[in-house]
């Protein structure tokens, strides 16, 4: 039987931490409703203690969201947890996400303390959060660089204290996919009470491995992935939601599914990009403007004969505009004939041979040949063919 991977969206928290992406309460609430509509399982709405504005955003989001879990972040600090709980007051399904750094870099460099003390604080924060809700997620910040033995001790202790989800963040995007996968597998095999909690992946993209690491985590037993629309997030970003969802869908035989309505991926990507004032790189998987464009002659010829030769995803399935045959100096005759057809010209093979020479000369001087350029080429050619 297929197993569901829960999608935990943190666009409104980790994504919104990006400089320039800050949102007001109305914008956050509008995006939260769209995320609910997309089918995410959990919306991380913000970090209420961080500012009055974020407190209001979490409160307003909690009021309008239905069955989707609304989550608020806190540090392992009593006051943070209380403020998070207060902001979540109206949520139908509230979750408190609390935690602390567990790597030696954090324990010594940030807290100047010991592993024993961190373990104690981890247990205390989960216990405290459980006073407000039954749904408590614990994050072991910088788990990616935390020793597996110590991480297993922390995870066991916080589950005993009441954590229902254990988040294993690769906060600095340091891990290789096999290392991250082994880390999750280690927890599955060495934490005696692990069956009482869901393991969550939270990967950053500093080495471009966030999606690969999250998938490795799922293959090892994680059943929740934390991600953002367009991969927005601190520094190089978080795991991109659209990538994780489509990897699991394209590799259906692995036996996982998500509740995401994939047809909304591109429309929502555009809205998030606009509202957060953060353009999407054209070559971004799934949602980039070139994700379904073909420009080299070899690819175009194959694609025009059968789309699946060069496309593994039907653009309609992810709500993208239909595939584009782009004309550049690297394009071929089939693409040229196809584009002429699209604007109403049915040329013979001989015509195309002649036109192709003119096209290549024009394309060498221009990045892309558009319909206007094609019309000019076609008109000049038709005129040249008329008897004098």
* Binding footprint of ligand KIV on the chain (CB under 6 A): 14, 139, 141, 167, 169, 171, 202, 204
Residue 160 C-beta: closest distance to ligand KIV, Å? 21
Residues 119-178 touching Zn ion, rule: CB under 5 A, are none
Rounded Cα gap, residues 345 and 381, in angstroms? 11
Closest by CA to 281, choosing from 247, 240, 325, is 240
| b/e per residue 25-59 (b: at least 16 CB within 10 A) | beebbebbbbbbebbbbbbbbbbbbbeeebbbbbb
Rounded Cα gap, residues 95 and 70, in angstroms? 6
Residue 13 C-beta: closest distance to Zn ion, Å? 8
Q: Which is nearer to ligand KIV, 115 or 358 (CB)?
A: 115
User: Mind giving me the DSSP string for 38-100?
Assistant: HT-SEEEEE-GGG-HHHHHHHHHHHHH--SSEEEEEEES-HHHHHHHHHHTTT-SSEEEEEEE
141: partner contacted, choices ligand KIV, Zn ion, none (Cβ within 5-8 A by kind): ligand KIV
8: partner contacted, choices Zn ion, ligand KIV, none (Cβ within 5-8 A by kind): none
Q: Which is nearer to ligand KIV, 137 or 243 (CB)?
A: 137
Stretch that binds Zn ion, among 12-20, 105-113, 144-152, 188-196 (CB under 5 A): 12-20
* C-beta of residue 91 within 8 angstroms of C-beta of residue 70: yes
Residue 173 C-beta: closest distance to Zn ion, Å? 9
Number of residues lying near Zn ion (CB under 5 A): 1
Let me know the angle formed at the C-alpha of 237 by 221 and 186, rounded to the nearest 5 degrees: 25
139: partner contacted, choices Zn ion, ligand KIV, none (Cβ within 5-8 A by kind): ligand KIV
Residue 169 C-beta: closest distance to ligand KIV, Å? 3
Q: Which is nearer to ligand KIV, 109 or 192 (CB)?
A: 109
Out of 5, 11, 14, 378, the residue judged to bind Zn ion by CB under 5 A: 14
Q: Which is nearer to Zn ion, 28 or 202 (CB)?
A: 202
Q: Which is nearer to Zn ion, 206 or 351 (CB)?
A: 206
Strand pairing partners for 95? 71
Inter-CA distances, 147 with 38, 63, 129, 154, 267, Å: 36, 40, 26, 11, 41
Q: Which is nearer to ligand KIV, 109 or 279 (CB)?
A: 109
Q: Which is nearer to ligand KIV, 41 or 141 (CB)?
A: 141
Residue 273 C-beta: closest distance to ligand KIV, Å? 21
Residue 131 C-beta: closest distance to ligand KIV, Å? 21
* C-beta of residue 284 within 8 angstroms of C-beta of residue 270: no
Tally Cβ neighbours within 10 Å of residue 24: 11
Residue 139 C-beta: closest distance to Zn ion, Å? 8
Binding site for Zn ion (CB under 5 A): 14
């Amino acid at each position: 039987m297929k197993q569901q991977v829960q999608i935990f969206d943190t666009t409104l928290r980790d994504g919104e931490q990006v400089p320039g992406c800050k949102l007001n309460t109305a914008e956050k609430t509008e995006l939260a409703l769209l995320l609910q509509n997309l089918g995410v399982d959990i919306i991380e709405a913000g970090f209420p203690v961080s500012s009055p504005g974020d407190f209001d955003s979490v409160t307003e989001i909690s009021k309008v969201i239905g069955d989707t879990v609304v989550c608020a972040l806190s540090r392992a600090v009593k006051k943070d947890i209380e403020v998070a709980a207060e902001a979540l007051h109206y949520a139908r399904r509230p979750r408190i996400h609390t935690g602390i750094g567990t790597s030696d870099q954090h324990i010594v460099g940030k807290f100047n303390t010991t592993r024993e003390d961190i373990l104690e604080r981890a247990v205390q924060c989960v216990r405290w959060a459980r006073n407000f809700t039954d749904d408590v997620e614990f994050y072991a910040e910088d788990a990616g660089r935390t020793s597996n033995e110590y991480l297993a001790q922390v995870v066991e202790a916080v589950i005993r204290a009441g954590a229902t989800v254990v988040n294993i963040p690769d906060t600095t995007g340091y891990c290789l996919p096999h290392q991250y996968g082994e880390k999750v597998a280690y927890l599955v095999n060495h934490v005696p009470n692990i069956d009482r909690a869901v393991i969550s992946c939270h990967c950053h993209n500093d080495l471009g491995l966030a999606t690969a690491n999250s998938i490795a985590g799922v293959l090892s037993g994680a059943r929740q992935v934390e991600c953002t629309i367009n991969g927005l997030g601190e520094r190089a970003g978080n795991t991109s939601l659209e990538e994780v969802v489509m990897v699991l869908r394209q590799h259906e035989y692995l036996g996982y599914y998500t509740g995401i309505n994939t047809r909304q991926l591109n429309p929502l990507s555009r809205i998030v990009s606009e509202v957060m004032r953060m353009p999407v790189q054209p070559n971004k998987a799934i949602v980039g403007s070139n994700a379904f464009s073909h420009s080299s002659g070899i690819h175009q010829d194959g694609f025009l004969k059968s789309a699946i030769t060069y496309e593994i995803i039907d653009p309609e399935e992810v709500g993208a505009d239909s595939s584009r045959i782009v004309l550049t100096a690297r394009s071929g005759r089939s693409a040229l004939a196809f584009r002429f057809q699209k604007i109403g010209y049915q040329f013979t093979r001989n015509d195309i041979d002649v036109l192709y020479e003119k096209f290549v000369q024009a394309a060498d001087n221009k990045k892309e040949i558009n319909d206007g350029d094609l019309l000019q080429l076609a008109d000049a050619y038709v005129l040249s063919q008329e008897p004098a």
